[in-house]
A and B are shown apart, each in its own frame.
Chain A
Amino acid sequence: MRNDGPRNILRRSLQVRHVDAGSCNGCESELAAITGPVYDAQRYGLDIVASPRHADVLTVSGPVTRQMAEALGRTHAAVGQPRLVVSVGDCAAGRCPFRGSYAAGEGVAAVLPVDAHIPGCPPAPAEIVQHLRALMRGPGPGQTAGQRG
């Protein structure tokens, strides 16, 4: 399985870089809240980082607009291996009211390999934290549930 490697390595900490690929700003508002005082995701080893070079996970929101496709691809390429891609919100999963228009795309999976999805319009901060933590807990090769980090 493609994800076994990164999930095994990234068990204790997950550094997140986010790309807005055409959201309504709802997903950004909720993502920004996860490192705030209420949700405080850093206590789980989760953090938002400024550079894709520092990131383990690329989160992407929006349907991937025509104008953001190139920037998204380059940001993804700049994330070191192993890396994960997480689509955030319904638009990113292709359930966007603007899907397929002359300017909007079909969702993140149409342009990048997606490892996990966080559903919601927008997903609430607690749900985002929960999904990102689940990524850290995913069993690696040869692990059993009891060995999860």
Chain B
Amino acid sequence: MSAAEPWSQSGAPLTIREADAGELAGAVTAALAVGARYLTAAAADERAVGGGFRLDHVFRFPDRPGLDVLRVRLPADRPEYPSLTPVLPAVHWDEREAQDLFGITPLGHPDPRRLVLPDDWPAGLHPLRKDVPWNVHPPCAAEPGWAPRLAGGEGVVFMPVGPVHAGIIESGHFAFSLMGETILHLDVRLFQKHRGVEKILEGRPWADAGDAVERTCAACSASHQAAWCEAVEQLVDWELPARGVYLRTILLECERLYNHLNDIAAIPAGTGFAVAAMEGSVLKEQMLRLQGAAFGHRYLFGTIRPGGVVRDLPTDDIAELRRRLARLRVRLGRLAQRMLRHPGFVDRLQGAGVLSRRTALDLGAVGPSARASAVAQDLRVDRPYLAYRAFAPMVVTEQAGDVGARLRLRFREAEVSFELLDRLLHGLPPGPCRREAPGGAERAEGLGIGCNESPRGANVHYVQLRAGRIERYRIRTASFANWPLLMEAVPGNLIGDFPLINKSFELCYACCDR
């Protein structure tokens, strides 16, 4: 693209197709057969506007630039449909979530337990229905009473862990079934950090969503901001200035880089390889400081807003930024050698927490966790957006699907990000970094879907606007997609390796729970 060329987010329209509830499974099977990739599902309550419930499933077809929405309408008095999980296992948590939050029943779901709401929450109270106030506070029971699924048999020991963990770790509850030191089965109860992000956003003008959207998750904050902006920009046909496109891409790549540095430090920490963990955490801190100095916030809050980016990079800063990134790159290269040539360390990672390619595909794994199991998918390349249209990164894959593969993958991807950042900074076009909203934007209507490849994989924001206000907002993050993989990857491993395996997937609780 040329430097002066304006940039439109709206080049790839949504195609909405309606189906009956009974036809849904068939339509999804047909889509999957031609290589469609499932991105997100979103329920909505349309009873106040004369409808019932609406259930959308969003796919990307390999031969089309836009996204496809498969829409089913369900009656207000009997919101139920045959579960899609048997034909598309990746939706199993989406279906449980819609059952909790909207009271939409997926008939025949293999595991219809509560997912998001606590076990002491009153039956029949579905907080994302429009007739339930945003601040409803039903009384809590003293014992929430979760009954985990455990392995049975003589000598099997049940080990509960959490929701408060021993380190500085987010909150979530794990139930291990152990035979000796070997994990037979793991059940998890997440959503301890559920904050009602989507409900809070309803009714707000689209322009006022930023503070909540960016705090869905600090670790993927730029990705969340960019997905929200893309959805809005599509809806109002908002063209970005070329410099804004580049800077937004730079922010997204910086975010990937510091997250990968964090994970590279966390994996040796899980094996007691303290020297490598310390060096990794120094590199992460340097990246956070670089971000604080260049973009005004260590975690990039408040950097991306509809129309471009908030803060420009002064020309003098660009050269300094490139120098600092080059120094970090050299240091990371040395750390990679030190870690990957340490036989004891590498031995510990080999064969730990294996995720097979088949399971990754079946459960809809995304991001580094998918790519380390030989699934070559990356939205930066598969559905190019922002400056990735001109600077397609190399999609890195590993074959083994174990902790070692996920670590090596992050080293290699960090290298790609360094390269990409240098090229973007070098080629940063002149001009404004943000453009004013087009006329009528404050009354925007319709459905916009923003998605990008966060450090953890596909992050999809589904934004329905009515008269400029948010009617429905659903966020499906990479961690939401990938948490179920952990339950598949740990059985057969030693309990002592669990923290290591968990860190290698780098699942975020905050953006899963929302």
Contacts and interface: CB of A to CB of B under 8 A. Distances in A.
A48 to B, nearest CB: 6
B34 interface: no
Most buried by B among A20, A29, A50, A75: A20
A104 B195 contact: yes
A60 to B, nearest CB: 11
Contacts of A102: 127, 132-137, 196, 199
A65 B168 contact: no
B164 interface: yes
A29 B163 contact: no
Interface in A1-50: 18-26, 28-33, 36-38, 48, 50
Nearest to B137: A102
Contacts of B142: 70
Given A66-B140, A97-B211, A71 B134 contact: no
Contacts of A51: 166
A134 B133 CA distance: 42
A71 B161 CA distance: 12
Contacts of B163: 67-68, 71
A101 interface: yes
A63 B318 CA distance: 38
Interface stretch (B176-184, B278-286, B370-378): B278-286
A68 B135 contact: no
Contacts of B171: 19-22, 68, 71
Given A103-B194, A122-B218, A48 B285 contact: no
A77 interface: no
B359 to A, nearest CB: 26
A65 B118 CA distance: 11
B278 A103 contact: no
A121 B135 CA distance: 24
Most buried by B among A24, A29, A51, A100: A24
Nearest to A121: B301
Interface residues of A, number: 46
Contacts of B279: 37
B33 interface: no
A69 interface: yes
B217 interface: yes
A33 B282 CA distance: 9
Contact of B217 (A24, A48, A104): A24
B83 interface: no
A74 B88 CA distance: 40
Task: Label chain A's interface by main secondary structure.
Answer: loop
Given A20-B169, A98-B212, A26 B299 contact: yes
Given A20-B193, A102-B127, A37 B135 contact: no
A62 interface: yes
B218 A29 contact: yes
A124 interface: yes
B135 A23 contact: no
Contact of B192 (A52, A63, A71): A71
Contacts of A65: 192-195
Contacts of A63: 195
B196 A28 contact: no
B458 interface: no
B216 A24 contact: yes
Most buried by B among A21, A50, A66, A91: A66
A29 B196 contact: no
Most buried by B among A48, A51, A104: A104
Interface in B215-239: 215-219, 221
Contacts of B118: 66-67
A97 B51 CA distance: 31
B32 interface: no
A50 B167 contact: yes
Contacts of A38: 281-282, 285
Contacts of A31: 168
Contacts of B193: 20, 22-23, 62, 65, 67-68
B508 interface: yes
Given A50-B166, A67-B194, A98-B212, A37 B299 contact: no
Interface of A: 18-26, 28-33, 36-38, 48, 50-52, 62-63, 65-72, 75, 91, 96-98, 100-104, 121-122, 124-125
5 contacts: A29-B299, A67-B144, A101-B134, A102-B136, A103-B194
Shortest beta-carbon contacts, A-B, top 9: A26-B218, A101-B196, A50-B166, A103-B196, A98-B195, A97-B212, A32-B168, A104-B195, A36-B281
Given A38-B281, A102-B132, 13 more contacts: A19-B171, A20-B164, A23-B218, A32-B168, A36-B281, A37-B282, A50-B167, A65-B195, A67-B163, A67-B194, A70-B144, A101-B135, A101-B196
